[in-house]
Structure 1
Amino acid sequence: MNTKKMRIFPIACRVILVAMLVVWIFPVLFALNTSFKDQAEFYSNIWALPKKLGLDNYIQAFSQGHIGEYFLNSIIIAVVSLIFIEVISVMAAYSLARLRIPHTGAIIMICFAIQLLPTETIIIPLYKMMSSMGLLHLRYVPIILAYVGWSIPGTTVILKNFFDTIPKELLEAARIDGSGEIRNLFTIVLPLMKGALSTCIVMNFTFIWGELMWAKTATLTTDKGLPLTVGLMSFKGEYGTQWSLMCAAICMIVIPLYLVFLFLQKYFVSSMTAGSVKG
């Protein structure tokens, strides 16, 4: 009986994983299929394959739909946000892991609590605060500030777990040789944490690239510096939606995310495993 249960369990796990994969990948395949249709072909049969393959919708979405402009805005927001997030989080995590910071455990718990707090609950107070400070009319600034603030706590926790796996003897030997903490961080620790940094970059980039609610709220009073997620809403008109163009734009947004994750997945998995074990 136990042997039978042992055989059923891995089969059930595989079935569940395949079902989850279908649920996640089907919308992408549907958008890819729709992106090659025109409006008439889409409304005649939304499930049918396109009669011909062409890049007309992609070209029109990129030029007339201003996807190129939105794409550049998203890249600027993502790159600047990631630089601030990674630099600040590395410094904070190294300090918590290797320096004698009072109440380190309480600080980590606060980071966890902040990370678990839904971002939707603080959007209105954040909007009022930035409005009173006069930041909403500045291009990129309110979006970047919010993304940096939301991402630092979780990134700091992940990097601290990684720093805890580095042998203390390695850093103590460097200190005996006269190396300071800043030098230790840049010459010894950073070369060892490519996987951990890649993990944080993938997680934060995915969040920044696809976030909509705050990006839409922060750009209510301007049409400058709109990211891709907000720009997609321009394909929805008063009397209808240009589904073919919207799906073409969605594909141009989603496919790079899949490629980035596939390229960095080995670092993602290995560093998450290493960060969960303290040596």
Structure 2
Amino acid sequence: MALLRLALVLAALQPVSALAAGEAARKTALSRTAADDSRAGILRLMDRVIADPSDEQARKELRLATGLAVEKERRAASEERAALLAGAGLDRGRIMAMRASKKKRLDAWNDEFLKACALASGADTVKEAVAAYENLLETFPVYSDNRAYLLASGAKIKGIFYKVIKETYPYLVAGRDTVDERTLAALQFSRVAALQEFGGRPDTTAAERELKKAERLRRLERELVLKHENIKAAMDLYEIKRYADSLKNFDRALSYDRNNEEALFYRALARKKAGLAEDER
């Protein structure tokens, strides 16, 4: 663009001015290597005008060539802006689609969670509620922004369990204001024992079975903590442009959940940007 401005000035100069500044302008123009035929053509026309400032035909051709080159650059810049805007619009559309997919999946999980809460509120359906809670922990969609939601959900259903246990087996929560996995196991065992007292079939493996279930619930909760830490680390690395490093964490997230929309979306971007970074080096 600087060359074009110089050419326009040179084409407009009067012959006397051109003679005075001709050699300096020529040196300035020739110091820039022509990148294509249009630049080379403009340089040749500038040489003609500098060599003979009275050559009106050369001036006319220089003005025309410069005008065409300016228009070409403007058109290229306009096309580049349009491409960038289109790309930004496409990226925004993909982001919105990814977020919508996340919301749909989390809404479906929440529907099942509400059913589990309803089961947990009745003493006769506690067993089903515990099984439902276990399934919810197994299927929770882990994203970088829903750790607090999971914690709140866990606190809510455990609060319901606590209320039921306090009403039916208060000794299990004596001196406590919440429940844990072992409390749920003790509740299940107490219900089995109560059924046996009323003529139910003896179950000698009940205690061991319920303790194993309690340990499984605890393990699932620990695993969710690690999964959230992993996806958060992936996003943190992506944000600071350590794309290659973030890929390891995104891959790990997909090993837990191959349909994780967030991991799939940002993993694809990280792969692309890591490739661009390598090309630039």
Structure with more of its chain in helix, by fraction: 2
TM-score for both structures, normalised by structure 1 = 0.27
Tell me which structure has the larger Cα radius of gyration: 2
TM-score for both structures, normalised by structure 2 = 0.27
